[in-house]
């Protein structure tokens, strides 16, 4: 029997008001060790941009770790009144995937601590998988309860419209390294139970070379509103991505809103190939970060950056569209959204701020 939908539980959309956003800082015992000199300034600039709109929570290994990068935060112009630190060991820095997924209930937010196993067992993840519990023990989440969920799930693998619809990819969620005993129907049942999902829209197609998440949806297609999906398009028939992304585009065009209407689709331009040696990097404009009052767009030093910015501005009226060069981050297979995890209002034990878009 399928799990019933959890009544009065809802996975909010990312454009709903935030209490803050988490970053997990890189260090010399992570895969970033050889590139800290170019990657840490990107983290600092990202933190500073976030702090212009809302609080930022930085997870560091220990006080000495904080001391090692605090000067970069000052140089980047971070707002110290919106900066908050917590301590926890970490294997890596992808907060989107090891951070908790927050649902909203009548009594307030509930943080779901799903299992993180390094994208299907590809990488060490024991420390990352313990970060949420470490933060809870420090009181980071205030009065919001934390619920452990044994299912393997990464935040980058699900997109929510805030009204009961999830957008996901089969390549990721049905990968045998994650939940080998769960088929698509069983996964939908878990989403009904834990996330209050009413509908799950599955994509069969879409991939990026250099991506080792098995096709996270946040690299491919994103809700920008209940009726709007922005997606990474490829318009170069000679590019090896063309067939897969064209097939994904057709799938998106065939999807329907609960009303039966098609979604408004916003194609994001295709950047020129970026290489690290002979390895192609997973450059995508779909991995943008939504803030209270702004959207941070990954830039790639490409003429397409401006086109992507213009198209996202149309999808997010009233929000600033700011860019940040994401090329140093791409060398480890992810981008800006992958580095962040947002917390809805009431999910952090810090003073709440007015969101100008929802005041």
Determine the pLDDT at residue 6.
57
Written as tens digits, the pLDDT of the chain (359 aa) is 455 555 689 999 999 999 999 999 999 999 999 999 999 999 999 999 999 999 999 999 999 999 999 999 999 999 999 999 999 999 999 999 999 999 999 999 999 999 999 999 999 999 999 999 999 999 999 999 999 999 999 999 999 999 999 999 999 999 999 999 999 999 999 999 999 999 999 999 999 999 999 999 999 999 999 999 999 999 999 999 999 999 999 999 999 999 999 999 999 999 999 999 999 999 999 999 999 999 999 999 999 999 999 999 999 999 999 999 999 999 999 999 999 999 999 999 988 787 778 76
Determine the pLDDT at residue 356.
75
Domains and CATH numbers, the chain: 18-344 (3.75.10.10)
Determine the pLDDT at residue 134.
98
Determine the pLDDT at residue 1.
44
Q: Which of 335, 340, 314 is nearest to 325 (CA)?
A: 335
Distance CA 322, CA 344 (A): 21
Determine the pLDDT at residue 5.
53
Q: Which residues are identified as catalytic?
A: 338
Determine the pLDDT at residue 260.
98
């Amino acid at each position: 029997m399928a799990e019933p939908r959890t009544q009065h539980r809802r996975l909010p959309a990312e454009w709903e008001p935030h209490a803050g956003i988490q970053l997990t800082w890189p260090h010399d015992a992570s895969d970033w060790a050889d590139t800290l000199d170019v990657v840490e300034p990107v983290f600092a600039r990202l933190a500073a941009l976030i702090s212009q709109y809302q609080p930022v929570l930085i997870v560091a290994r220990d006080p000495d770790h904080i001391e090692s990068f605090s000067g970069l935060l000052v140089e980047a112009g971070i707002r110290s009144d919106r900066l908050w630190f917590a301590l926890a060991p970490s294997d890596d820095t992808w907060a989107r995937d090891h951070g908790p997924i927050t649902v909203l209930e009548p009594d307030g937010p509930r943080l779901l601590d799903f299992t993180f196993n390094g994208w299907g067992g590809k990488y060490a993840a024991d420390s990352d998988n313990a970060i949420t519990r470490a933060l809870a023990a420090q009181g980071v989440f205030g009065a919001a309860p934390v619920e452990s969920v044994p299912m393997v799930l990464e935040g980058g693998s699900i997109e929510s419209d805030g009204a009961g619809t999830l957008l996901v990819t089969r390549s990721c969620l049905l990968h045998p390294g994650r939940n080998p005993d769960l088929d698509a129907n069983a996964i939908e049942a878990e989403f009904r139970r834990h996330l209050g999902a009413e509908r799950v829209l599955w994509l069969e197609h879409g991939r990026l070379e250099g991506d080792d998440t098995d096709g996270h949806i946040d690299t491919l297609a994103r809700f920008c509103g209940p009726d709007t999906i922005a997606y990474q398009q490829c318009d170069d028939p000679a590019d090896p991505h063309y067939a897969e992304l064209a097939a994904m585009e057709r799938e998106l065009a065939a999807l329907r809103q609960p009303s039966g209407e098609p979604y408004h689709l916003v194609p994001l331009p295709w950047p020129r190939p970026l290489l690290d040696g002979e390895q192609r990097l997973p450059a995508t404009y779909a991995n943008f970060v939504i803030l209270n009052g702004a959207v941070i767009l990954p830039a790639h030093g490409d003429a397409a950056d401006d086109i992507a910015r213009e198209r996202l501005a149309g999808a997010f009226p009233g929000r600033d569209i700011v860019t940040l060069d994401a090329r140093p981050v791409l060398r480890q297979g992810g981008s800006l959204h992958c580095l962040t995890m947002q917390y809805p209002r009431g999910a952090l034990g810090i003073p709440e701020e007015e969101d100008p878009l929802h005041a």
